[in-house]
Structure 1
């Protein structure tokens, strides 16, 4: 059995222009001071990592790793959520998602897609140079605007979308395979991969590619009313990353899953700091231990109410207290009678 590593922190929601959140060294020192043991690094801010340089220079990757290690931390994984989103974009979102790409690729969807695909390939090599074994991303989405079938979707539309999605991701998955890295899709609203069924549809299209793995985040399933514990039972062999994030869903006579176009604080479903929502983390950590989850428990802080620094401080302790140090002995060994083949046959009447 394997003990989950952690606690770790995803830096995306904490990076800013003021110390200690404006450099890799200072944010690592801050995180270590809160009790975190690892950090997950987003790859869109060159103050923290230059993704292409990390892919092309082992010396530079070692330098980044050294800065993190000096604070007593490890790099858990890199993240290309924003770049992954741009691998597949429905035209209705072109202007909204253009902000995820450098200025020179905006208003040019084909060039933006090519840039995003190259970013993912850089991420595979950078992860290899850093000695990592998993990577976090989004799938992007062609048919999310048609998630509710009204008006009726044209026949074959969804199949065509997933065929193209697989066509774009297969070369990326092959690059990750060459580098020995699991590519983990965060199953998330707004993505074509947003639940188990859509993941299975994609997996079929990429011929069950061994590197097409999962980032498990139960908060998104609370908001979908999906059984997030059975999900682990079904997909545990593909789950290679874990975001520890809480959420709550409180439907009323006025709104439910769709949220009525309200902002986060006024939605029936909203993300919360660890321990303030409805996710059953005791059961989740038990299942992760049961299935020998090989990775890190990484806090992703998102909350409509609480200050992020309080969420981080409380979250480090929350994760630490939920990690199960797995046993190396069977609890009823004290009553074992030993192996006796003749006794076994006697008991069985053989």
Structure 2
């Protein structure tokens, strides 16, 4: 068993053009003021971070770590959720996702994918320079439009999609392996890796790659009614990153899991601030600790009701109160009798 690190906060939902959210120095001090000890950086946000510069310059990486250190903060992971999404995009989503890419490759799916792959490889080198062990991302999706089996899917459609997804990601995984960094895919509806079955399909196709791992976020399992605690028991060897995000699922006579056309506040499945939803975080932290997860617990704030500033302020103490300092001895050691192997054999009737 190991003790989880935290609390930390993912800055993607907080970065902005106004102080203190428009620069790394100021946003780090803001996060520290709320009690956070680490930050997860969105690598695409130039107000906070320069990915290419980080990949090429150790001095810049030392500067980033120094800026965070001045605020008493650590860097937990880099995130490439937007770039990872663009590694694989079904044509139905071309226009919707085009805005994630650099302006010069928008409108050109092939150039956009090439740019995304390069971004991922830059992230591998940057993570190595920054001394990070894990990286947070999305897998992208080719098969997602066919998630619901109507109309009937042609034989081999999903297999072909996952074969291609693995082909695109294998060189990226190799680049992260060379950098000594785990790729942690957030298991998330809208991605081809949205549950345990799809992760296994992908893992098999990348040859059980040692860098193919999981960013665990229970909120996405609540919304699709997957057992988020059993998931930890099954996949804990591959869980290398953790978003602490809450959610609730309240089906009615009008809507259930497929309620995404309604506004967020009116859906059966809704994201909530920590402590306001239905996730049993006591059990989540217990299972992760029991199975030896020693990475960071990172707040990802998304809530359809509560203000982000309040969510951030409440998130740090919530996470801190759930982190378990694991025991270094057994609770019943006081009653140890000191019996040796010979005595054990005698007790079992095995002595001769």
TM bin, normalised by shorter chain, reads over 0.9
What residue ranges of structure 2 are gaps of 5+ in the alignment?
A: none
Q: Which residue of 1 aligns with 2:87?
A: 87
Unaligned ranges ≥5, structure 1: none
SS in 2 for 1:166: helix
Aligned residue in 1 for 2:287: 287
DSSP 3-state at the match of 2:293: coil
Q: How do 1:318-337 residues align onto structure 2 when only pairs under 5 Å count?
A: 318-337=318-337
State the 1:103 CA deviation. Answer: 1.1
Q: Deviations over 1:106-143 (max 9, x none)?
A: 11000000000000000000000000000000000001
1:47 matched to 2:41? The reply is: no
Which residue is equivalent to 1:249?
249
Structure 2: how far apart are the matches of 1:345 and 1:23?
A: 67
1:169 corresponds to: 169
Query: What is the match of residue 108 of structure 2?
Result: 108
Displacement after TM superposition at 1:96 (Å): 0.5
Partner Cα separation in structure 2 for residue 31 and residue 166 of structure 1: 37
Which digits, 9 at most, give the CA deviation of each residue in 1:92-112, with x for residues without a partner? Answer: 000000000111111100000
Q: For 2:70 and 2:4, how far apart are their aligned partners in 1?
A: 22
Aligned to 1:258: 258
* Superposition map of 1:147-162 within 5 A: 147-162=147-162
Instruction: Report the TM-score when normalising by structure 1.
Output: 0.99
Deviation digits for residues 14-56 of structure 1 (CA, Å, limit 9, x no counterpart): 0011111111000000000110000000011112111011001
Q: Does 1:300 align with 2:300?
A: yes
Q: Give, in whole Å, the separation in 2 of the partners of 1:112 and 1:14.
A: 26
TM-score normalised by length of structure 2: 0.99
- Residue 226 (structure 1) aligns with: 226
Secondary structure at 1:236's aligned position in 2?
helix
Q: State the aligned residue count.
A: 350
Question: 1:68 aligned to 2:68?
Answer: yes
Q: Secondary structure at the residue paired with 2:99?
A: helix
Following superposition, the deviation at residue 260 of structure 1 comes to 5.3
CA RMSD in angstroms comes to 0.7
Query: Which residue is equivalent to 2:59?
Result: 59
Note the alpha carbon deviations across 1:227-257, whole angstroms, 9 max, x for none.
0000000000000000000000000000000
| CA distance in structure 2 between the partners assigned to 1:275 and 1:99 by the alignment | 33
Partner residue of 2:15? 15
Which secondary structure does the structure 1 equivalent of 2:62 belong to?
A: helix
Structure 2 residue matching 1:237: 3-state secondary structure: helix
Deviation at residue 341 of structure 1 after TM alignment: 2.7
Residue of structure 2 in register with 1:212 after alignment: 212
- The equivalent residue for 2:195 is 195
Residue equivalent to 1:96: 96
Cα deviation for residue 339 of structure 1 reads 3.0
Rounded Cα–Cα distance in structure 2 between residues aligned with 1:268 and 1:221: 14
Q: Which residue of 2 aligns with 1:142?
A: 142
Deviation of 1:149 after TM superposition, in Å, equals: 1.0
Please report how far the alpha carbon of residue 340 of structure 1 lies from its aligned counterpart in structure 2 after TM superposition.
2.2
1:254–1:318 distance in 2 versus 1, CA, 3 Å: same
1:120 is matched with 120
Q: Give 1:155 shift.
A: 1.1
State how far apart, in whole Å, the 2-side matches of 1:260 and 1:57 are: 43
